[in-house]
Chains A and B, each alone.
Chain A
Amino acid sequence: MSAAGVLTKPLRQPSVLPGFGLTFGFTTFFLSAIVLLPLAALVLMAARLSISDFFNVILDPRAVGSYRLSFGAAFLAAAINAVFGFVIAWTLVRYEFPGKKIIDALIDMPFALPTAVSGIALTTVFAQNGWVGQYLEPLGIKVAYTWIGVTVALTLIGMPFMVRTVQPALEEVQKDLEDAAETLGAGRFHIFRRIILPTVLPALLTGFALAFARGVGEYGSVIFISGNLPMKTEITPLLIVIKLEEFDYKGAAALGTVMLFISFVMLLAINLLQAWGRQRHVRSGR
């Protein structure tokens, strides 16, 4: 290499992609165009309402009921996924069995399926005369057209998020670690609690956050199975659509802003929890 060549590029970090300036520019541009700008428009639209009108809209009992269902069912579904998604990921990572590839591919189906199709399918199965619904009916359990149905739909939709985030983390828990713990005298529960769980917890929380966020925003599959009874089985996104159909753009924007706010706060909380969890486990290590 010539002396000039050495002198002209002493400070630049070599990278496959063009420099930091360019990539950062793209990052801010895309974030603005796709995320921030529409969100700003939403908030601005809501801001056209007077303060009292705004609160009237968002504190309307029907709206509050829909928040409860939307966020509650999404949270519950994410929690269910945290348990069963983990089990599925564990099975796929740790065991070899015939048909493993097919099951692995099936996990992604909820991603690809139009949500309306999932909704109709679930409704068919869980309706009072459906394949599963007809057996649950005598037990007094009604799934379709209740909050349970909403949770079922959101669990289905959120499942791949959980499995796909936990899977790589589990692959990192080498068998050696468990073997080491076993020779040191740890039992199964202890190994799970002290070795496996701490290692996959960050991924588990990320999966939870993703599944939850997806559940809050879900529309297509839920409207078919929920029955959409105001105050009971009506989700916030549906309420927004109803407002839009009534040409109440400001009201719709107000509800959207509330959703935006709650979602943001919850995701932030999960992120903080994750950072705290990492700290705690590093420090106490137990």
Chain B
Amino acid sequence: MSITLDQVTKRYQGVPVVNDVSVEIGEGEFFVLLGPSGSGKSTLLRAIAGLTGVSHGRIALHGRDVTHTSARERGVGLVFQNYALFRHMTVADNIEFALRVRRMKRADRLARRKELLRLVALEGMDERLPAQLSGGQQQRVAVARALAHKPEVLLLDEPFGALDAKIREELRRTIRQVQRELGITTVLVTHDQEEAFALADRIGVMNLGRLLEMGPPGELYTRPTTRFVATFLGAANLLLGHQTRNGIHFGSPGFDGTRSHEVVAVLRPEEVELAPNRGKLDSRYLAAGSVEEIIFTGALERMRVRLTKGSDEVQLARANNGDGSFLEITRTQPEQRAFAVKVGQDVAVGFRRVHVLPTPLSSFTACAASESEVERLSRHPLLVELATRMSTRVSSRVEPALANSSVDCSAMDRHFSGAAVIASRPDALKNIECLLARGAEEVFVLPANASSPQRVLIHWADEAARAATLAVSASLLRHVSAEAVYLDVKPEHTAATERPQGMRALLDARSEAQAVHGLEMRTELHFGDATSELVRRLGESPDQLLILGISQIAGLAQRFGELLAAIPHAPLLVVYREPEPIAESQTAVGMA
């Protein structure tokens, strides 16, 4: 491996900017770090270059651990967005800078310089000053300068940011060519997905300091596993659908009587088909709608279709902002010719292909005993923040049975969509029990003053809940910039000979999280009573959230009553899965 990052974390004043990033970049690979501004991608690049120290983790270049090696000794080539050329030196002196530092002989320097200038197509520009060159030429000089000392790794920090579209494309081609010719391992940072697609062998998408997903461009585009990647790489309509044994369907849930499971589906704008009516569609019918807006962009036509309100209305995952649901659609010229539409026209909408995300957290449902309580709960800052970041909706549901814990809750409607959210109260455990018994799979208990967590503690009390807990944790952690800690507690009297097995289980959990969900987490093994260990850990600092996996509803109050009473300030997410031969979340992953 050319570059190996192992759980690299960088904190600024306690806030993780780069959060547990692990990646291996192969020899000669062109790896693009893609993410919005503030996602930590530039910080990660600077960490690889050695210009920023890391708070935790390990960096290796070609198997050599360089975590504590200075930038000077690491000798990577780095290209900056603003070129960072030495203005008082000529092109020749800029390029030869690294060679002079290494006391290379004059003749060798000259030969190397000529070679580099040819490589970046700037022959004969030796005696120019940077100020006499165009932006594109300056960046070429910067690339040549970064390559002068034959670094093993080339790092590019938004190298095209300051250039206009045409030059950008030209330079992009040059860089790709140079990279191929030299076979040098390259990491490029950008926020431009088009650039990433054009250059990358592999893309790593970052958000909130986390490396969410990585893979070849085509793979990431057609089969993303996270909402963020689905919407950040190209446009996407996120739909809430119901996965049943007979496949996915959109609209009102569960009419065929089989047990269904809410999922998030990605519908790319180009996979939507429009027809005058349902009968004329070649693909599966999705909904009826009317054309709201058409934008002509040359090769493609982009439009927004407002979905007609009706009983079988398709649910969009994106938070409902009151003005109805829109679908984003792009159509090619042949499609436009086959069926021309005007603004305001009624159309039937079909879909050719959808991709189901494996995320177990599809949406939230605020549950409380009265209308006003539901209203208050669905406006909880943390819930709103989570829903916005996950671009999902918060539905509401009034359950009078939640008011009184002694009331029998079997009267409750059996069907649940997404995670149930309830307010934290002394007898919340009864409510949890009630909701889980009625079919909810996740219950999120929110204290009134809870804020965005800095740390998420993960613990499962029953091994059967392990896969589901990991899946839910990964899904949640992609949307908050918190560190993840998996806490395993073994009984105090565990024999010394059995302790290594505890450690092994811990590592297994970690590698499962990493392999299946791309979730990086710390692991801690404690010996003692589970509840008191959790209480102790949660008491250490505020802004912690606990994810608790269980597979047994009965006796919840006895098992965790103490826990809830001890930590009234911390949000709690209970994940429940019945002990089945195949856990729910795994089937979901399989379907994706």
Contacts and interface: CB of A to CB of B under 8 A. Distances in A.
B184 to A, nearest CB: 15
B276 interface: no
Interface string A161-177: 00000000000001011
A7 interface: no
Interface stretch (A59-67, A101-109, A182-190): A182-190
A276 B264 CA distance: 69
B80 interface: yes
A174 B90 contact: no
A284 B50 CA distance: 30
Interface string B82-109: 1010111110111001101110000000
A226 B88 CA distance: 43
Contacts of B86: 177, 180-181, 194-195, 285
A94 interface: no
A285 to B, nearest CB: 3
Interface residues of A, number: 23
B149 A185 contact: yes
A286 B78 contact: no
B187 interface: no
Contact of A285 (B51, B89, B101, B149): B89
B101 A174 contact: no
B400 interface: no
A194 B98 CA distance: 12
A281 interface: yes
A53 interface: no
A179 B71 contact: yes
Contacts of A199: 87-88
A281 B80 CA distance: 24
Nearest to B127: A283
B145 A184 contact: yes
Given A182-B71, A285-B93, A174 B84 contact: yes
Contact of B80 (A176, A185, A194): A176
B89 A186 contact: no
Nearest to A172: B87
A110 interface: no
Given A176-B84, A179-B84, A282-B88, A184 B101 contact: yes
Contacts of A130: none
A285 B148 contact: no
A180 B86 CA distance: 9
A183 B88 contact: no
Contacts of B28: none
A177 B88 contact: no
A282 B90 CA distance: 7
B77 interface: yes
A182 B72 contact: yes
A150 B543 CA distance: 62
A11 B146 CA distance: 46
Contacts of B98: 184-185
Contact of A179 (B78, B87, B93, B145): B78
Contact of A183 (B78, B94, B102, B129): B78
Contact of A182 (B51, B90, B92, B94): B51
B303 interface: no
Contacts of A180: 78, 80, 84, 86, 145
A184 B77 CA distance: 7
A187 B70 CA distance: 10
Contacts of A190: 101
A283 to B, nearest CB: 8
B243 to A, nearest CB: 50
A183 B97 contact: no
B101 to A, nearest CB: 4
A282 B51 CA distance: 28
A195 B72 CA distance: 15
A198 interface: yes
Nearest to A284: B93
A286 B71 contact: no
Contacts of A185: 72, 75, 98, 101-102, 149
B571 to A, nearest CB: 35
Nearest to A198: B88
Nearest to A187: B72
B271 to A, nearest CB: 43
A284 B71 CA distance: 27
Nearest to A180: B84
B76 interface: yes
Contact of B82 (A176, A181, A184): A176
Nearest to A283: B90
A135 to B, nearest CB: 42
A44 B93 CA distance: 53
A184 B84 contact: no
Q: In this complex, which of A176, A180, A183, A186 has the most chain B Cβ atoms within 10 angstroms of its Cβ? A: A183
Nearest to B102: A185
B436 interface: no
Contacts of A177: 84, 86
Contacts of B421: none
Which of B76, B98, B148: most chain A Cβ within 10 A? B98
B48 to A, nearest CB: 11
B129 A184 contact: no
Given A179-B78, A181-B97, A185-B101, A282 B49 contact: no
Nearest to B76: A183
A286 B93 contact: yes
Nearest to A176: B84
A185 B104 CA distance: 13
Contacts of B82: 174, 176
Contacts of A186: 72, 97, 101
Contacts of A183: 49-51, 71-72, 74-78, 146
- The CB with the most chain B CB atoms within 10 A, among A179, A180, A186, A281, is that of A180
Nearest to B101: A185
Contact of A282 (B78, B84, B129, B146): B129
Contacts of B49: 179, 183
B86 to A, nearest CB: 6
Contacts of B94: 285
A205 to B, nearest CB: 14
B116 to A, nearest CB: 13
A284 B94 CA distance: 11
Interface string A94-135: 000000000000000000000000000000000000000000
Interface in A34-54: none
Nearest to A286: B93
A190 B71 CA distance: 14
> Which of A181, A184, A282, A285 has most chain B Cβ within 10 Å?
A184
Nearest to B157: A176
Interface string B49-86: 11100000000000000000011101111101010101
Interface string B191-204: 00000000000000
B3 to A, nearest CB: 15
20 contacts: A174-B82, A174-B84, A177-B86, A179-B51, A179-B84, A180-B78, A182-B71, A183-B72, A183-B77, A183-B78, A183-B146, A184-B145, A184-B146, A184-B148, A185-B149, A186-B101, A187-B72, A194-B86, A285-B93, A286-B93
Given A183-B146, A285-B86, 4 more contacts: A181-B86, A285-B92, A285-B93, A286-B100
User: Which 9 residue pairs across A and B have the least CB separation, nearest first?
Assistant: A285-B93, A285-B89, A184-B98, A176-B84, A180-B84, A183-B78, A185-B101, A182-B71, A198-B88
